[in-house]
Chain A
Amino acid sequence: MHLSLTDNVAWAFGAALETLLLLLALRRGLYRRFPFFTLYVALVVLSEPVLWFVYNKGQGHLRLIFVAYYLIQCILLLARGGVVAEICRDLLSPYPGIWKVCRGCLLTIAVILLAFAAAAAYRTGASTAVATGERGLELVVVGVLLFAVAFCRYYEIVPDQVTAFLALGLGLYSAIQVANNTLIFEWLLPYVGWWQKVRQLSYPVVVFIWLFALRNPLPEARPAPALLDAGVYDEFVPQVNMRLRELNARLQEILK
């Protein structure tokens, strides 16, 4: 495999952006609030020269390139999983009651999607199993983030700018990977080169989003919300639910 001058320039540009992001993350002290995200960016930065070396020096050793690429992807995906968990925790954990409930739901969703990914990878042929598995794992990232955002919307929790942009970047990248791995095998095989460019370009776009998120010093940590007495929920919410049930029944009567 030979990289052209354009490929090398694009690679160097991407690596420079990622390094800039890591430096900015360290400068802003992001590791205190998002240690997994900082670790993930550090792993990305470290993986770039390794991959570049393998691509350039491993000419004629496609298997070596394949193993190196997917091994690194596997490590990065695990780190991304950690980042997703971190984002969910940052969004919902200040509210201990609903965090306990949402955490269980998000874990269940992750397990279901993981099982779906494993089954999909198992069903497909050996040649596409790795890409199918990768797609499934990216889908876990997308699915969990999506539900975390849905919970925030339902409970009217407003995320701060940094968390929102980190989630946006991560979701965007995973969504592109999912679409990429799906479409490429179904419809776009003749355009594989073009689509690969989309894939390569998507990461610098995401890095720009994260750089934008870190353009200012991190905001002060929000004070923990003042919580109600534990008995208020038990006293109030069952009554509300009962009334809402009745209200639904009446509305249904109107429709009869």
Chain B
Amino acid sequence: MNFSILLYVGLSLAVFVALALMLRRMRAAKAQPPTHAEAPHEPFAVHCRHFPQIRQVLSPDDAAFIAQRFSAPARRQWRAERRRVLRHYLAGLKEDFAGLERLARTVAVLSPQVTQSLEAERLWLGVRFRFLYTLALLQLATGFAGVPEFQRLTDLLGGFAAQVEAGMAALETRPAAPGGGFSA
């Protein structure tokens, strides 16, 4: 099949989908006023704060205890349950990432001047994070990711959350530019 046919037909389909999405979004926004002028809800990393519980789930002591006391089907069920919890945790981390990313986008939208390279980099980082996240999910489904790695990831998000909270506090106390501030 000719490449140009694929390109043209693909682009035609893409424009339909994109414009339909735009309309759907517009309708949704009509029902719920745009939040752009407001600070985003829960922009801070919240899921990573539950790492102590996750650490417990991942504890090797638990694994040893289960291996001694329970039958093979029960162990399988326990492992499946543990994977489910980790999947949820990973999804939470993704939410944290998305919240922080969204905050940065909001700042960009409301800024009189933005830097192209920083915007492009954040876009790329978002794409990369989602790709890696999908791979991590696959790894969870097939094997197992260890506690230290999860802990490092969580510490990072936790530190970031503190930094963003401090940044937001600084924004709130900053004297506003003419017509400045998050609220329109």
- Interfacial chain A residues near B163, Cβ < 8 Å: 239, 243
**B-side binding surface: helix, strand, loop or mixed?**
helix
Q: Are A243's CB and B132's CB within 8 A?
A: no
How long is the Cα–Cα vector from A158 to B32 in the complex, in angstroms?
11
A139-B11, A153-B21 known; A243+B109 contact, CB < 8 A? no
Q: Which of A172, A176, A230 contacts B19 (CB 8 A)?
A: A172
- Interfacial chain B residues near A232, Cβ < 8 Å: 107, 111, 171, 174
Among A153, A156, A183, max chain B CB count under 10 A is at: A156
How long is the Cα–Cα vector from A252 to B9 in the complex, in angstroms?
36
Residue interface mask A94-110, B partner, CB < 8 A = 1: 01111011001000000
- Interfacial chain A residues near B11, Cβ < 8 Å: 139, 142-143, 146, 175, 178
Chain B nearest CB from A154 CB (Å) reads 7
Q: Is B122 an interface residue (CB 8 A)?
A: yes
- Interfacial chain A residues near B9, Cβ < 8 Å: 179, 182-183
- Interfacial chain B residues near A233, Cβ < 8 Å: 107-108, 111, 113-115
Chain B nearest CB from A108 CB (Å) reads 11
**Stretch in contact with the other chain, from B66-74, B76-84, B144-152:** B144-152
Chain A nearest CB from B109 CB (Å) reads 5
Q: Are B114's CB and A254's CB within 8 A?
A: no
How long is the Cα–Cα vector from A174 to B15 in the complex, in angstroms?
10
Q: How large is the interface on A (under 10, 10 to 19, 20 to 34, 35 or more residues)?
A: 35 or more
- Interfacial chain B residues near A220, Cβ < 8 Å: none
Q: Which of B15, B109, B136, B167 contacts A255 (CB 8 A)?
A: B136
How long is the Cα–Cα vector from A96 to B97 in the complex, in angstroms?
26
Q: Are B122's CB and A226's CB within 8 A?
A: no
- Interfacial chain A residues near B122, Cβ < 8 Å: 237, 240-241, 244
Q: Which of A230, A245, A248, A255 contacts B139 (CB 8 A)?
A: A255
What is B's interface to A at a CB cutoff of 8 Å? Answer: 2, 4-5, 8-9, 11-12, 14-16, 18-19, 21-23, 25-26, 29-30, 34-37, 97, 100-116, 118-119, 121-123, 125-126, 128-129, 132-133, 135-136, 139, 145, 149-150, 152-153, 156-157, 159-160, 163-164, 167, 171, 174, 176-177, 179-184
